[in-house]
Amino acid sequence: MEMNFDTIAAIATALSDSGIGIVRISGEKAVEIADSLIRSKKGASFVKGMESHTIRYGFVVEDGNVSDDSLDGNGKEEGSAGAETEGSLAKGGNGKEGGNIVDEVMVSVFRAPKSYTKEDVVEINCHGGVLVTKKVLELVLRAGARLATPGEFTKRAFLNGRIDLAEAEAVMDLIHSKNELAMKASTTQLRGDLSAKLKSLREKILYEIAFIESALDDPEHISLEGYPERLKGTSDLLIKEIQGLLQTAENGKMIKEGISTVILGKPNAGKSSLLNMILGQERAIVTDIAGTTRDALEEYVNLRGIHLNVIDTAGIRDTQDVVERIGVERARKYAADADLILYVVDTSVALDENDKEILSLIGDKKTIFLLNKSDLEQKVSEKEILSLLDGLRPEIGSDPKDQISMISTSAAFGKGLEELETEIEKLFFHGEVMQNDQVMITNLRHKEALQNALTALLLVQQSLEDQMPEDFYSIDLMQAYASLGNILGEEVGDDLVEEIFSKFCMGK
Amino acid sequence: MSEIREKVDVCVVGAGHAGCEAALACARLGLETVIFTVSVDSIALMPCNPNVGGSSKGHLVRELDALGGEMGKNIDKTFIQSKMLNVSKGPAVHSLRAQADKAEYSRAMRKVLESQEHLTIKQAEVCELLWDNIKTEEQSEETSGSAEAKLNLSGSKESGIFEKRVTGVKTFTGAIYECKAVVLCTGTYLRARCLCGEAITYTGPNGLQAATHLTDSLKAMGIELRRFKTGTPARMDGRTIDYSKMEEQFGDERIVPFSFSTDPESIQKEQASCWLTYTNQATHDIIRANLDRSPIYAGIIEGTGPRYCPSIEDKVVKFSEKERHQVFLEPEGLHTHEMYVGGMSSSLPEDVQLAMYRTVPGLEHCKIVRNAYAIEYDCINAKQLYNTLEFKKIKGLFAGGQFNGSSGYEEAACQGLVAGINAAMEIQGREFLVMDRSESYIGVLIDDLVTKDNREPYRMMTSRAEYRLLLRQDNADRRLRGKGYKIGLITEEEYQDLLCKEALIEAEIARMKETKVGANQRIQEFLERHGSMALKTAASFAELICRPELSYAALEEIDEGRTEAYAAYRSMEQARSRYFTSDGRLSSEILDQVEIEIKYEGYIIRQKRQVEQYKKLEKKSIPADLNYDEVPSLRLEARQKLKEFRPVSLGQASRISGVSPADVSVLHIYLERKQRSESCQ
């Protein structure tokens, strides 16, 4: 097989509560990359020397002389040469010498062709939990691997002749479905304000390319006199903004990490108390996200290690009040986008038309019914709700009972929270709601794209500094444009030609 | 039967820039060829601008020349002014443009055609194509429903993609020419309609006879046609123009030829001037006041026009903030007073035109010889073609030029050449000429035409070429002459020139990389004088050339071995005098290559790496008869697009809008599986 691919990496294990996550690297540079990141207890690198199909104990370190072929000199002075030499890790501790220890790992090496992909494969077994596994993957990417596209390991395994023909169809299905999921994740999880920002950055870049290109295409009509200075200014700004975005991505605020959870219910059903209960008990608010509407409160919660993005909505009832009506409409919209719905039912009040309305919003979404105010006199039973749901069945299509569970709570007394947590955990780890590792990967993908855009813009500045002719700028500007487009799921296509014609008056 | 019946190899329909190249290529490759035109006096006519080349179009002409086309040679014979554009910018965007003497250009090309062996010129309107159905076993059961369903049922690769085979053409007078291949180069003549305000004529450009019958025959063969439009400005009587109010535009002092075969010394000559003036508010006011009389704004024109050569009406409406637009007055030839008014094409009525032109400084008393007009014509969406320019469903039928939805003489000529070559290759059972996007602008042009949904006449632009740093006009011969030689359109002599050129470039680059200078006082002084940083350690000449403030020429004074090296080159066995100046130095043709390759090495290497990535998918070919309905897990949109375009490679598939990377992966695996299971059997 003459195909030689670049080196890819991804988290190979599904996110689970077991705590172990495997980062898999495949390709020509797999061993080299792992070698640059992993140290023995004494601080020495050893992966290159490992025999195939063996496993060893070591530490993933950061700033341990990571190879970095991006142009900027950043970190070159700090990333000392010390890592390759001795200096015990224990002693070096958090010092610069051996770099910071990120995780204690077991690393296995499978040399080509005796591996899953028939390429060199290294697997790093991380023990520090989800966040640490993600950090290790990031280091691997920074060391020169590319984030694998959905299903890419399996694709390579097939193309390299590792998987037999009978399984080809399954491979195609896998790529197809995983990709659909990733595409959806990429665009839906991007925070609204950021998506607008990225769009505007892209527009600015495209304008510059179009200007250069139209001047090259029609030199008699459009002049590039004094343009390099102007581009210097623009690229400074662009770089600053992208660095800002990278920081945002670094903090995990780039995307709505977590399961999009919407609390629905009639007014006074106890929705807000429920939210307070969750928040108050856990005291795990990571951030409140800006840009949410005034009428729906959005909170970021961590329940037993699972990120929830909880949106508390206005109570739903048939109303003539304009403002309230808008709130209800919004709730409807949130429900449509939700991964999980928490429906708070006030069991002390009889079911009515409004409950029917809410049930219709739920559709076939995963829903947990919280039968609230269990301490008061009960006017509603599980049975009643189920029969109401049965009535909606033809509209929903699937059997709604497959999608729901019921918990009896009393927000006032903090009752039922544990059951709720268990229930969410169950849904989540059994893959019945939006997988969280997908979310995490999305964030990484975005970071990778931002980093690529940044590198491209730095190359533009390099060209400016070297006084290269104008046409050299547009090559790297285009790269930056395409990279940012990856985040938004937008292709380059004929954008440039469109922009040239719409913004610049071409001759003849 | 009394009608004329002849048997030839190839029929070329149309004798414009595409038709001429196609016919010459076929005849030069030894095939009996007939070229049809509605008027022998309009061979290689330039009905619009009087120039050849320009940004990215200059690249096309040089590539065409490297492959053995005629346009470059012909313009070298007939130009009256020449200019290298973008010289202050990077080498990738340098572009040659020459003003032509239109009548001479046409006459010279006609002479080339007339003196070409195996080529017959015939003045006749081709009205009909003759064809056969290609019989396959499945097609016997003609009764079943849609073709789609049939394809599914059979699921067989034998169902093929060619459905018909072209067998000849029939002219208006009933003469029949049987042939093995037809190349359609009908330009803007199919059902042409010219509009000048309310006045509409059913003619081709310049009042020439339109071809009204062929469209029906093409439709009957299952070819889908569409309608495009373009336009041209007025021509003025030069004696009525006051040039003192305009800026004179001169040609270059040192003229660079288009053709790699033309000796630069032979074409240094006196040049004609062009003139620059501007529109103003008064011009714009007149246009705005009369927009309702423009057939485009009044909705009379149905064709889609090109945005890159907008009419002056369009410019004024779309860029209303611009206070003035440039107007270039360009001579139509040396033996006429007629001047082309570049920048002011229009379809406004005659009276508005005159009023509008007369507001422009220098044109106050102008007299119009020919009115500006817009022209509408039938053409195809080129997605019906392979990148060999053969119809996917009709064996032996090729197409080139504006008929394929492009615009421009140069774009047309290049397609004509490729279509002609491939018609010959098919007849002779030889390998097709297909160039990809990393090899040439022609490759980009054809790939864009056949894979994109173009909604307006397609014009080449440097921004369309992803790898333009490699696709420079200065190295077109180095990229393509070998191909032209293999095909048989480049002579042994020309090929030996190329080999010599390569050897000289290679030797001089090696010398620059190997020769090092120390950090001695003489060198430091030299560097200081050129505003360049002092050396810390020894450096090669190549490293010095990379500095923006230094150049190959500047290094002369510290390059002691230069004269000696040149002498050694001259005595090389394959040395050819054309690459040396009269005083024995390497010519600029060689030195430019040396300097560019050294100065931009970093960028060139980066681009070459991108090309490697790109080639991987490009090399993965997709069988023409692939049944996309059998490929599982393709998204619906992708499936539809793939069926519509039928890409030849995974690379081409990836460029079709609506086909995602995941779809390409899925397709990749499917093809791999298919291939493996076939090799198992």
The length of chain B, given as a count of residues = 681
List pLDDT tens digits, range B455-468.
889 999 988 998 99
Q: Which residues of chain A are within 8 Å of residue B607 when distances are taken between CB atoms? A: 475
Specify burial of residue B140 (Cβ count, 10 A radius: 0-12, 13-18, 19+).
exposed
List pLDDT tens digits, range A186-219.
666 666 677 888 899 999 999 999 999 988 888 8
Cα distances from B50 to residues A473, B122, B367, in angstroms, run 33, 26, 19
Nearest-by-CA chain B residue for A167? B673
Q: From the candidates B319, B449, B633, which should be mutated to test the interface with A, based on the most A CB atoms within 10 A?
A: B633
A171, A217, A472 ranked by CB distance to B603: nearest: A472
Spatial strand order in the sheet of B397-399: B119-123, B33-37, B10-13, B181-184, B397-399
The DSSP H or E segment spanning A61 is strand A54-62
A151, A165, A505 ranked by CB distance to B677: nearest: A165
Token pair in block for residue B566: 């040149």
User: Does the pLDDT of residue A403 top 90, yes or no?
Assistant: no
Specify burial of residue B212 (Cβ count, 10 A radius: 0-12, 13-18, 19+).
middle
> Distance, in angstroms, between B479 CA and closest chain A CA?
21
Do the chains contact at B463 and A155, CB–CB below 8 Å?
no
> Distance, in angstroms, between B285 CA and closest chain A CA?
18
Q: What is the pLDDT of residue A167?
A: 76
A155, A470, A506 ranked by CB distance to B308: nearest: A506
Q: Which residues of chain A are within 8 Å of residue B548 when distances are taken between CB atoms? A: 466-468
Residue with tokens 């080639």: B615
Q: What is the pLDDT of residue A189?
A: 63
Q: What is the pLDDT of residue A255?
A: 57
Do the chains contact at A151 and B665, CB–CB below 8 Å?
yes
Q: What are phi and psi of B35, to 5 degrees?
A: -110, 125
Q: What is the pLDDT of residue B155?
A: 34
Report if pTM > 0.90: no
> Distance, in angstroms, between B633 CA and closest chain A CA?
5
Do B620-680 and B5-231+377-487 have the same topology in CATH? no
Question: Any idea what DSSP says for residue A76?
Answer: T
Q: From the candidates A165, A174, A216, A492, which should be mutated to test the interface with B, based on the most B CB atoms within 10 A?
A: A216
- β pairing state of A404-408 and A366-372: parallel
> Distance, in angstroms, between A179 CA and closest chain B CA?
6
Which range (A297-311, A439-453, B207-221, B250-264) has the least confidence? A297-311
Q: What is the pLDDT of residue A158?
A: 86
Do the chains contact at B668 and A471, CB–CB below 8 Å?
no
> Distance, in angstroms, between A501 CA and closest chain B CA?
6
The DSSP result for B251-291, as a single string, is --SSPPPSSTTS-GGGG------EEEEE--HHHHHHHHHTG
Q: What is the pLDDT of residue A196?
A: 83
Nearest-by-CA chain B residue for A467? B548
Give the pLDDT mean for A234-263.
Answer: 79
Give the pLDDT mean for A423-450.
Answer: 67
Token pair in block for residue A495: 């954008």
User: Does the pLDDT of residue A64 top 60, yes or no?
Assistant: no
Q: What is the pLDDT of residue B241?
A: 97
Q: Do B328 and B276 contact (CB within 8 A), yes or no?
A: yes
Query: Which residues of chain B, if any, have pLDDT below 70?
Result: 1-2, 136-160, 303-304, 680-681
User: Does the pLDDT of residue A65 top 60, yes or no?
Assistant: no
Q: Do B46 and B71 contact (CB within 8 A), yes or no?
A: no
A417-A420-A421 Cα angle (round to 5): 90
Q: What is the pLDDT of residue B674?
A: 84
Buried b (16+ CB within 10 A) or exposed e, A186-200: beebbbeebeeebee
The DSSP result for A22-38, as a single string, is EEEEESTTHHHHHHHHE
User: Does the pLDDT of residue A370 top 90, yes or no?
Assistant: no
Q: What is the pLDDT of residue A188?
A: 64
Q: What is the pLDDT of residue A184?
A: 67
What is the largest distance, in Å, between two alpha-carbon atoms of chain A? Answer: 85
More confidently predicted of A440 and A51? A51
The DSSP result for B292-312, as a single string, is GGSTTTTT---SBPPSSS--H
B328, B343, B632 ranked by CB distance to A172: nearest: B632
Token pair in block for residue A448: 């990778």
Token pair in block for residue A22: 């495997």
- Which residues, 6 or more positions from B557, have their beta carbon under 8 angstroms from its beta carbon? B526
Provide the pLDDT confidence category of residue A70 given band limits of 50, 70 and 90: very low
User: Does the pLDDT of residue A172 top 90, yes or no?
Assistant: no
Provide the pLDDT confidence category of residue A254 given band limits of 50, 70 and 90: low
- Name the CATH superfamily, with its identifier, for domain B5-231+377-487: FAD/NAD(P)-binding domain (3.50.50.60)
Buried b (16+ CB within 10 A) or exposed e, A96-119: ebbbebbbebebbbbbbeebbbbb
> Distance, in angstroms, between B603 CA and closest chain A CA?
8
Q: Which residues of chain B are within 8 Å of residue A224 when distances are taken between CB atoms? A: 89
d(CA B478, CA B470): 11
Query: Which candidate, B562, B517, B523, places its Cα nearest to that of B538?
Result: B517
> Distance, in angstroms, between A505 CA and closest chain B CA?
7
Q: From the candidates A217, A468, A474, A490, which should be mutated to test the interface with B, based on the most B CB atoms within 10 A?
A: A217
Q: What is the pLDDT of residue A345?
A: 85
Give the pLDDT mean for A125-150.
Answer: 85
Q: What is the pLDDT of residue B477?
A: 97
Token pair in block for residue B261: 């075969």
Nearest-by-CA chain A residue for B620? A3
Q: From the candidates A458, A471, A494, which should be mutated to test the interface with B, based on the most B CB atoms within 10 A?
A: A471
Interface size, chain A vs chain B, as Cβ–Cβ contacts under 8 Å: 133
d(CA B45, CA B107): 9
Q: Which residues of chain B are within 8 Å of residue A162 when distances are taken between CB atoms? A: none
Do the chains contact at B452 and A494, CB–CB below 8 Å?
yes
Cα distances from B680 to residues A165, B36, B184, B677, in angstroms, run 11, 51, 43, 5
Q: Which residues of chain A are within 8 Å of residue B462 when distances are taken between CB atoms? A: 213, 216-217, 471
Do the chains contact at B603 and A3, CB–CB below 8 Å?
no
Q: What is the pLDDT of residue A401?
A: 56
Mean pLDDT of chain A: 76
The DSSP H or E segment spanning B166 is strand B164-171
Q: What is the pLDDT of residue B150?
A: 34
Percent of chain A residues past pLDDT 90, beyond the cut: 21
Q: Measure CA A108 to chain center.
A: 27
Give the pLDDT mean for A134-145.
Answer: 89
CATH architecture entry for B620-680: Orthogonal Bundle (1.10)
Do the chains contact at A216 and B666, CB–CB below 8 Å?
no
Token pair in block for residue B634: 């393709």
More confidently predicted of A360 and B445? B445
Nearest-by-CA chain B residue for A496? B463
List pLDDT tens digits, range A470-490.
888 988 999 899 899 888 877
For chain B, which residues make up each domain, given as ranges?
A: 5-231+377-487, 232-374, 492-604, 620-680
Q: Measure CA B501 to chain center.
A: 25
Q: Which residues of chain A are within 8 Å of residue B672 when distances are taken between CB atoms? A: 158-159, 168
User: Does the pLDDT of residue A429 top 70, yes or no?
Assistant: no
The length of chain A, given as a count of residues = 508
Q: What is the pLDDT of residue A428?
A: 64
- Does domain B232-374 bear CATH number 3.90.1640.20? no
Q: From the candidates B669, B671, B676, B681, which should be mutated to test the interface with A, based on the most A CB atoms within 10 A?
A: B669
User: Does the pLDDT of residue A68 top 60, yes or no?
Assistant: no
- Does domain B492-604 bear CATH number 1.10.10.1800? yes
Do the chains contact at B88 and A469, CB–CB below 8 Å?
yes
Q: What is the pLDDT of residue A290?
A: 32
Q: Which residues of chain A are within 8 Å of residue B308 when distances are taken between CB atoms? A: 501, 506, 508
